[in-house]
Amino acid sequence: MVVIMSGNIVIFGPSGLVGGAALRHFDALPDWNVTALSRRPPAFEHGGRFIPLDLTDRAACEGALGELTDTTHIIYTALYEQEDVIRGWRAREQMETNTAMLQNALQPIDAVAKDLRNISLFQGTKAYGAHLRPPPVPARERWARNDHENFYWYQEDFVKAQQQGKNWTWTILRPQTIFGFALDAPLNILLAMAVYAVIRRAEGLPLCHPGGGGYVTEAIDTRLIARCLDWATEAEGARDEIFNITNGDNITFPGLWPTLARHFGMQMGEPEPQRLQDIMPTKAHVWEQIAKQHSLRDIPYDKLVGPSWQFADFNFAAGKNPAPVVVSTIKLRQAGFQDCIDTEDMLIELLVQYQDEGILPR
């Protein structure tokens, strides 16, 4: 017998990469009632209920969330990043803010929801200290907690403490480098890649990889994450577990560049190592002409990619030749989620989505 899951799901952070994909996914399913909450509305049309909410405001959270008494599932994807994204990963203020936001989101609902069943939230490869030094290959969930300060640990410890005496369970996903659809997100590497390519094309230049050595790593499609979140709503094997999640193949960033070049009809050039966070903010005038010529959506250039230039530089590693960053996904597959996607196929499908939404030119 096939069991059709249903319920009332609350998604925090639907204007971001993962939250937006979760909203699209569950909104498309007939048996789910979706409530989405964030400071900014999602950059796409949807049929869920949207409530504007600043998760740093405890009083506002108690007022808005105290009414969600019928909540059965929570997907928490909200994320606070400092303006200096990479340096912020080690900042106490960033850790305390992210922890307080989760507390403000969960505690008011947990106090009133009588049928809360599962809470899903996110960590990442920084759990293995990948932002400090390359972890052994492959990184595994069963390892002891990496000895560094991280808001991941504060959030995880809070959820485990909050769970005591309750019937609900939790699931934590650790994605590799995330690819998806969002605007003004601080970790949107795909839009950084695409805008860089489109501007190079407009300037009559070939597409050159701006980074360093082609270290082996992995990617994850937010649509795949959303399907995994769907699986986790009811899967016995997902209860109170932490899982790595990737597309299922290995990549190098230079290896993705020919696919990007073909999609935008460009010639490949020799690598040109550079810091995009220094170069690309000066290209606003080029983008404005592109947007006008192709009748793109009216999005300020500084809101299009923004801090994601920093994240792209971190991943592209100009002037460096990093060691591989690879995680094991055996645990997730053994638990029952075995979906996957080819990363090159993902790249093209997501670029087409940005084009269909009037954000990138054809």
Same domain, 79 and 195: no
pLDDT of residue 34: 98
pLDDT of residue 299: 95
Mean pLDDT, residues 43-52? 95
Q: What is the largest CA-CA distance in the chain?
A: 63
Same domain, 212 and 226: no
Q: What is the CATH number of the domain that holds 146?
A: 3.40.50.720
pLDDT surpasses 50 at 1: no
pLDDT surpasses 60 at 3: no
Exposure of 133 by Cβ count < 10 A (0-12 exposed, 13-18 middle, 19+ buried)? exposed
Residue 331 is assigned to a structural domain of this protein: no
DSSP, res 317? -
For residues 25 and 229, is the Cβ–Cβ distance under 8 A?
Answer: yes
> Torsions phi, psi of 50, nearest 5?
-110, 130
Same domain, 209 and 350: yes
> Torsions phi, psi of 59, nearest 5?
-60, -40
pLDDT of residue 63: 97
Residue 134 is assigned to a structural domain of this protein: yes
pLDDT of residue 2: 38
pLDDT tens by residue, 79-106:
999 999 999 999 999 999 999 999 999 9
Residue 339 is assigned to a structural domain of this protein: no
Residue 88 is assigned to a structural domain of this protein: yes
pLDDT surpasses 90 at 241: yes
pLDDT tens by residue, 97-151:
999 999 999 999 999 999 999 999 999 999 999 999 999 999 999 999 999 999 9
Q: Is the dihedral of CA 99, 33, 176, 39 positive or negative?
A: negative
Residue with tokens 């606070």: 80
Same domain, 144 and 212: no
Question: What is the rounded CA–CA span in Å between residue 155 and residue 102?
Answer: 7
Same domain, 164 and 191: no
Q: Which amino acid is at 310?
A: Q
Structure tokens given for 339: 């979906």
pLDDT surpasses 90 at 166: yes
pLDDT of residue 5: 61
What percent of the chain is modeled with pLDDT above 90?
A: 98
User: Residue 24: which pLDDT band, with cuts at 50, 70 and 90?
Assistant: very high
Q: What is the DSSP string of 105-146?
A: HHHHHHHH-TT--EEEEE--GGGGTTTTSPPPSSB-TTSPPP
Mean pLDDT, residues 301-330? 95
User: Residue 6: which pLDDT band, with cuts at 50, 70 and 90?
Assistant: confident
End-to-end Cα distance, the chain: 46
- Tallying the residues shown for the chain, one arrives at 362
Question: What is the rounded CA–CA span in Å between residue 200 and residue 203?
Answer: 5
Same domain, 13 and 155: yes
pLDDT tens by residue, 317-358:
999 999 999 999 999 999 999 999 999 999 999 999 999 999
Residue 87 is assigned to a structural domain of this protein: yes
Same domain, 257 and 283: yes
Question: What is the rounded CA–CA span in Å between residue 357 and residue 297?
Answer: 8
Return the higher-pLDDT residue of 2 and 115. 115
Residue 1 is assigned to a structural domain of this protein: no
Give the range among 6-10, 243-247, 263-267 with minimum mean pLDDT: 6-10
Look up the domain containing 208 and give its range: 183-218+250-325+344-356
Mean pLDDT, residues 277-293? 97
Same domain, 42 and 190: no
User: Residue 12: which pLDDT band, with cuts at 50, 70 and 90?
Assistant: very high
Question: What is the rounded CA–CA span in Å between residue 313 and residue 278?
Answer: 10
pLDDT surpasses 90 at 361: yes
Mean pLDDT, residues 221-249? 98
Same domain, 148 and 274: no
Residue 49 is assigned to a structural domain of this protein: yes
Same domain, 15 and 150: yes
Question: What is the rounded CA–CA span in Å between residue 260 and residue 216?
Answer: 18
Same domain, 138 and 148: yes
For residues 237 and 335, is the Cβ–Cβ distance under 8 A?
Answer: yes
Residue 156 is assigned to a structural domain of this protein: yes
CA distances from 125 to 79, 139, 220, 306, 343 (A): 15, 8, 12, 22, 18
DSSP, res 239? T
Same domain, 97 and 198: no
Return the higher-pLDDT residue of 64 and 2. 64
Question: What is the rounded CA–CA span in Å between residue 220 and residue 207?
Answer: 23
Total count of domains within the chain: 2
Single residue among 201, 227, 245 that ends a domain in this structure: 245
Bridge partners, residue 268, by sequence: 207
